[in-house]
Chain A
Amino acid sequence: MILAPLFFFLLLIGGPAFAGPPTSPEGFRVLDTPNDAGKSLSLVWKAAPSDSKDRTVQVWVAKSPPAAFQKVAEFPSNTRYVRTGDFPWWAQPAGKGDHYLKLPSSPAFPITDGKPYAVKLLIREGAQDVWSEAAEGVSAPNYFNTAQVNNLVFVLAFTGVLLGSIAAARRNPHVYLRRIAGLDAVEEAIGRSTEMGRPILYLTGSGGMSDVSTIAATVILGQVAKKVAHYETTLKVPHRDPIVMAVCREIVKEAYVEAGRPDAFKEDINFFITDDQFSYTAAVDGIMLREKPAANFFMGSYFAESLLLTETGASTGAIQIAGTDSDHQLPFFVTTCDYTLIGEELYAASAYLSREPVLVGTLRGQDFSKAFIMGVMVIGTALATVGVMLQTDAFNYFLDLFRDFK
């Protein structure tokens, strides 16, 4: 703290005297730019204490064997450093604080892969200048971006955790999963419909079969259908996607068989309306107003139609239970429905109810990864703060692992 002003003072007084005539840059090298598609060279040289904004660096390039050198860049000598955060520690092209310049191919000076190029630096201050030694380099495309190796490791580790937990769930599908509040209401809603002798309406959302939320919605439908079959209530499932409808038909049929009521199953429990958003909404609203279902389930992904559906449902006095991962629609479900499964709770509910090993395993695997990420965030923030306090970069060995590099 005391040193800083002193240093500044020295610079001010001794600046010009210190600098002297420009000197040739130390450790000047030309290398192929790492981790790129080729057609570019990188220049590296050591920083000098006398670098200043009045001293400029010019970059001169020539095709080797020496043709004429031509100037391609010029900048003050106190710029173009390797800064923390530009490169991860495992893929540094130069030491920290060194100068680094990427020289891409340009119309003025095209760079071809596999050909050697000679590069010289000209350091100039006022009327004085000095040339560096010429260095040679060859550009080449790379086969692997080492800066992104942490991304790959993350993907591989996640795959491992996922497969491991799915295997574990196959051995024991009854691992502990916490109770989800909205699910207690499912039973209640079905019970109430039975008492009142009114149907249950179940929507699977607007997504196709490749949506996670639709898959979860169909799994939950199976469980609801089982209870419905048991209570002998009517179930209605209007659809927007013919493929989802076909899948749901199978699922409901199976549920009725499992509940021991195959006779009660009807093909037209699942029916297709239209794939158009608002025609579908208007039709479902019509069903709500005419048949006054005692319970409405909205599971899966939704768009602007959500409010039109839930508002109409609420006006008929039905118990409404929603579950969606469409975060932009969640506020409307939360305000207009009696219970809402928020985001991942929808996936969790499907795993919880069905105990399907793949679903349970996925949920567990994601929990592990989530715990890991939470840990990284808390520990990382602490380390980053301590790093600032101690003025050290040592913690970057840990922090860089969780940064996104290009």
Chain B
Amino acid sequence: MPDQLIPTSAVLGAWVATGLTLFIYSFLYKDNPLFKLGEHLYVGVSIGYSVVLVWYTVFFRLLWEPLMKDIAAHPAALGTYEPVIPALLGLLILTQFFPRLSWLSRIAFAFIVGFGSGVAIPRTVSSYILKQIEDTVTPLITMSANGLSMGVDLASPQSGINTIILLIGVVSVLFYFFFSVEHTGPGMVTARTGIYFLMIAFGAAFGYTVMSRMSLLIGRFRDLITFAGAEYGYATPVLLLVTVLSLAAWELATRRKTGGE
């Protein structure tokens, strides 16, 4: 492969990215100034980024541009000025900063929360309750040319046996979250079943999450490996050394300080 020249900005970027990555990883040793520096930079950059995007997307593209266009087209029409209503409501939210006027923000909150609650109710019932009941309530047996049969293949999620297991699981877990009766007698058996189901699901989720977190680590390590190359000026090894040395210096300094007290 011929040597491809990497632009200076990318090399510089590699150094910055590597440095910041290592600063954050220094938290694994313990909380330290390098980590705090990286962390505050992170918060700062993401806030700055959001401000810029909100400005261009909300105020410019959704509010200002359509409004100006409509005003130019039909300055007299009432509908033209309609985007002013949400803008006013939005301004009401900002009264939060002025304690004497902050009650005004309640009007805006009432608007948002009222709309959100109203919109959510029928949709939640439809997608999260009725649809879920519908899929749980299925016949355990099927009718085919050979007559009635019940699927016992565990590997097929829709088989009769799995339908029964699913039903037992859903009902016993729901029962575990039932607070009006004591868990004794048959209730206890059901609730215990529910707990076992819960624990299996939590275990599975834990296993799945391990995968997720490890992927993130793999992604970061891959970048570090790329940036360790000669074309990036050996950013990773150099900065790793710098980080370790600074940590050691910091550790020494704090020890001396606490030792002196």
> B8-16, B173-181, B219-227: which lies at the A interface?
B173-181
Q: Is the CB of A403 within 8 A of B134?
A: yes
| Chain B: number of interface residues, binned into ranges | 35 or more
Q: Is the CB of B203 within 8 A of A331?
A: yes
- Residues of chain A lying within 8 A (CB to CB) of residue B125: 151, 154-155, 158
User: Is B163 at the interface (CB under 8 A from chain A)?
Assistant: yes
Q: Which chain A residue lies CB-closest to B44?
A: A276
Per-position contact with A for B162-183: 1 when CB-CB < 8 Å, else 0?
0100010011001101111111
Given A348-B179, A403-B133, 12 more A-B residue pairs with CB atoms under 8 Å apart are A148-B122, A151-B125, A155-B121, A155-B125, A176-B182, A274-B43, A279-B43, A330-B205, A342-B198, A344-B179, A378-B171, A384-B137
> A39-47, A48-56, A119-127, A367-375: which lies at the B interface?
A367-375
* Alpha-carbon separation in the docked complex, A277 to B85 (Å): 33
Q: Is the CB of A404 within 8 A of B178?
A: no
- Residues of chain B lying within 8 A (CB to CB) of residue A384: 137-140
User: Is B127 at the interface (CB under 8 A from chain A)?
Assistant: yes
Of the candidates A335, A352, A376, A388, the one whose C-beta lies within 8 Å of that of B143 is: A388
- Residues of chain B lying within 8 A (CB to CB) of residue A142: none
Q: Is the CB of B139 within 8 A of A377?
A: no
A interface, by DSSP: helix, strand, loop or mixed?
A: helix
Q: Is the CB of A391 within 8 A of B202?
A: no
User: Is A177 at the interface (CB under 8 A from chain B)?
Assistant: yes
* Alpha-carbon separation in the docked complex, A151 to B143 (Å): 31
Of the candidates A180, A286, A363, A373, the one whose C-beta lies within 8 Å of that of B129 is: A373
User: Is B142 at the interface (CB under 8 A from chain A)?
Assistant: yes
Q: Which chain A residue lies CB-closest to B145?
A: A4
Q: Is the CB of B142 within 8 A of A279?
A: no
Q: Is the CB of A388 within 8 A of B180?
A: no
Of the candidates B36, B39, B129, B167, the one whose C-beta lies within 8 Å of that of A154 is: B129
Q: How far is the CB of A61 from chain B (nearest CB, A)?
A: 33
Q: How far is the CB of B207 from chain A (nearest CB, A)?
A: 9
Q: Is the CB of A402 within 8 A of B35?
A: no
Q: Is the CB of A178 within 8 A of B179?
A: yes
Q: How far is the CB of B55 from chain A (nearest CB, A)?
A: 20
- Residues of chain A lying within 8 A (CB to CB) of residue B141: 385, 388-389
Q: Which chain B residue lies CB-closest to A176?
A: B180
